[in-house]
Amino acid sequence: MSYTISEDSLADLDTYWTDSRQNLNWPSVFVLPAWLQVWWQVFSSGNELYVRTVREGERIIGIAPLMVKGETALLIGDTDVCDYLDFIITPGMEGDFFNILLDDLKKNDIRSLDLKHVRPDSTVLNSLTKAAAERGYKVVNTQEDISLEMGLPSGWDEYLAMLSTKQRHEVKRKIRRLWGAGNVEHRCLEAGQELEEYLELFLKLFPMSREDKANFMTPQMESFFKYLAKAMAEIGLLRFGIIELDNQPAAMTIGFDYKDVHYLYNSAYDPRFNYLSVGLLCKVLCLKESIEKGKKKWDFLKGAETYKYHLGGQEVPLYRCRITIK
């Protein structure tokens, strides 16, 4: 087989993502062109872009969305806002792609790869590490975090039956208490013209929720959220969830629907309504809506918060993969 490797821009990836002739696997929202472009726009300072596309004729067999710092290549993104990352590859072409990429990295004097975080089902752990080890390169995989996710059943009652007796009782009790507290409305919204209104509301509630969230939402991070929401709304993936009590916004979620998965990205609530567990219930009711829409998986994303376990989340280890290129 004859392959070529070329240097591309992040803008080029938009074309590849929408090209129906390609059979590339874009494994999560965190590697979509819109996401990568926003991250690069806000956080790329000090890094050099290193996007490589490998082709067999007109067919793309893989894309490496990398950046370089010194002599080390990293996946574009960071662990603060990108829960896990990976390469974009046509299924079945992983071995050829990574061998060509490793040759290109060595040719360009890249001495190491530092890839985080990656899932157990990533191409990094299943194919890249094998290709690197076969060349005699040093490979070190270290678990650094966890994500939680759950498969969704076909109905709400089936979901409740999946919970422990105690948690099922708690969910039902808290929903009844919320609905008895006043005029309650819950909506899951596909952001359109109301994007700015709901985003501003979310950004207002977010620092009110907890001190750590207030510290997290720096001016730079707020810019990222604004650019990201707009970019993801433009490709139809952004979803807001909101609970209003007596016409007052009490809690919100922000997430993304991609393929058959809902990614719960972040949440916020008004502490005045904390006694009604509005933060938790906004997630529960969005989960219910995902079931009703026929989604197959709910991804709670990174972090071991207790509520994720209570709602049925199962742990997925997240790894840092370091490869020394000889």
- Tell me which CATH homologous superfamily contains domain 153-295: Gcn5-related N-acetyltransferase (GNAT) (3.40.630.30)
Question: What's the pTM value of the predicted model, to 2 decimals?
Answer: 0.96
Q: Which residue has the tokens 């050099």?
A: 48
Question: In the beta sheet, which residues pair with residue 235?
Answer: none
Concatenating the DSSP letter of every residue in 217-254 gives --HHHHHHHHHHHHHHHHTT-EEEEEEEETTEEEEEEE
Neighbours of 190 (CB within 10 A): 13
- Confirm whether 4-145+318-324 and 153-295 share one CATH topology: yes
Kindly state the tokens that stand for 295: 């989604």
Task: For residue range 119-169, list pLDDT tens digits in order.
Answer: 999 999 999 999 999 999 999 999 999 999 999 999 999 999 999 999 999
Which residue type does 239 have?
Answer: R
Q: What is the C-alpha R_g of the chain?
A: 21
Could you give the CA distance from residue 12 to residue 17 in angstroms, rounded to a whole number? Answer: 9
Confidence of residue 20 (pLDDT cuts 50, 70, 90): confident
Query: Which residues, in sequence order, are CB contacts of 238 under 8 Å at separation 6+?
Result: 190, 191, 195, 229, 232, 254, 256
Going by their DSSP bridges, the two strands 297-302 and 261-269 should be labelled as parallel
Which residue type does 81 have?
Answer: V
Residue pair 269/279 in contact (Cβ under 8 Å)? The answer is: yes
Neighbours of 185 (CB within 10 A): 11
Going by their DSSP bridges, the two strands 184-190 and 88-89 should be labelled as unpaired
Architecture, CATH, for domain 4-145+318-324: 3-Layer(aba) Sandwich (3.40)
Say what the pLDDT of residue 191 is. Answer: 66
Task: For residue range 42-99, list pLDDT tens digits in order.
Answer: 999 889 999 999 999 999 999 999 999 999 999 999 999 999 999 999 999 999 999 9
Say what the pLDDT of residue 60 is. Answer: 97
Kindly state the tokens that stand for 241: 């969830």
Kindly state the tokens that stand for 195: 């994007």
Question: What is the H or E stretch that residue 73 is in?
Answer: strand 72-75
- Does pLDDT of 192 surpass 80? no
Residue pair 51/7 in contact (Cβ under 8 Å)? The answer is: yes
Say what the pLDDT of residue 189 is. Answer: 83
Query: Structural domain boundaries of the chain?
Result: 4-145+318-324, 153-295
No. of helices (H) and no. of strands (E), the chain? 12, 13
Say what the pLDDT of residue 194 is. Answer: 74
CA–CA distances in Å: residue 5 to residues 70, 113, 169, 241 = 22, 18, 57, 43
